[in-house]
């Protein structure tokens, strides 16, 4: 990669042209609820014939409903892995992983492959913040937690932050996150969360954006 890249997400690990792993171990409480989520795969053929395959495995959540000591507080630790492959080398991949959290919001609008519904909300005005932060939501509101905070230098050597990471001239990428924290306050009703990854791929002859959603799960 031409520019230096540092990913400072909550225990996120990017593996493509680089390697390494970090982790955060959450404090456990008696009320913690573990949730195992199913692995899924999605395949798409781009207009120039390039085949993209996305896989999500080992996704899990640990829900602690007692953050702050009231029913209005939730705290979730999430972990998982993504693997992305292309049938040929592409000019660039941009990978933005994260989670959508909603208060009394029905996530059934997008199926497990994530072709519609929630995808319309991203970039459409809902609040976006980083893992490890907490968001205050009322009924019908949702927010997006970015798992990646990539620092890179622009052409003038100024640092900027991006919620995705870029890979160039590659046919694969792997992403792992361990115990990324999502905090929710203020929601008096039911709350849900679901993983979401947006992949943008550029080849010599085509550009494709692909949304990949996980199964929604209750966070209390």
Percent of the chain with pLDDT over 70: 70
Counted domains in the chain: 1
Confidence check: pLDDT of 116 > 50: no
Give the 3-state DSSP-derived string for 27-78, with helices as H, strands as E and coil as C: CCCCCCEEEECCCEEEEEECCCCCEEEEEEEEEEEEEECCHHHCCCEEEEEE
Distance between CA 215 and CA 30 in Å, rounded? 25
pLDDT at 66: 56
**What is residue 14's three-state secondary structure?**
strand
Tokens of 182: 């999502």
Q: What CATH number has the domain bearing residue 100?
A: 2.60.40.1650
Cβ–Cβ under 8 Å, residues 148 and 163: yes
pLDDT at 148: 87
46-76 pLDDT, tens digit per residue, is 999 999 999 999 999 999 865 556 668 888 9
Residues with Cβ within 8 Å of residue 49, at least 6 apart in sequence = 87
pLDDT at 121: 47
Alpha-carbon distances of 189 from 13, 103, 105, 186, rounded to whole Å: 34, 7, 10, 9
pLDDT at 145: 93
Rg (CA), the chain: 17
Confidence check: pLDDT of 19 > 70: no
Distance between CA 134 and CA 159 in Å, rounded? 25
Cβ–Cβ under 8 Å, residues 59 and 83: no
pTM value surpassing 0.85: no
194-206 pLDDT, tens digit per residue, is 999 999 999 999 9
Domain with 56, as residue range(s), is: 5-20+27-218
pLDDT at 113: 41
Cβ–Cβ under 8 Å, residues 98 and 105: no
């Amino acid at each position: 990669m031409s520019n230096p890249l540092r990913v400072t997400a909550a225990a996120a690990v990017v593996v493509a042209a680089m390697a390494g792993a970090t982790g955060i171990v959450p404090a456990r409480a008696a009320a913690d609820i573990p949730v195992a989520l199913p692995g899924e795969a999605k395949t798409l053929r781009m207009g120039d014939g390039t085949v993209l395959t996305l896989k999500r495995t080992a996704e899990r959540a640990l829900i602690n409903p007692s953050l702050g000591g009231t029913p209005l507080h939730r705290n979730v630790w999430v972990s998982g892995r993504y693997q992305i492959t292309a049938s040929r080398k592409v000019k660039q991949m941009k990978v933005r992983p994260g989670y959508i959290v909603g208060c009394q919001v029905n996530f059934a609008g997008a199926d497990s492959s994530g072709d519609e519904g929630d995808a319309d909300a991203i970039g459409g005005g809902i609040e976006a913040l980083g893992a490890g932060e907490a968001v205050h939501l009322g009924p019908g509101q949702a927010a997006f937690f970015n798992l990646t905070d990539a620092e890179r230098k622009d052409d003038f050597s100024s640092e900027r932050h991006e919620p995705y990471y870029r890979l160039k001239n590659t046919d694969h990428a792997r992403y792992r996150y361990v115990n990324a924290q999502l905090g929710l306050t203020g929601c008096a009703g039911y709350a849900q969360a679901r993983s979401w990854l947006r992949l943008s791929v550029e080849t010599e002859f085509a550009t494709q954006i692909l949304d990949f959603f996980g199964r929604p799960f209750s966070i209390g």
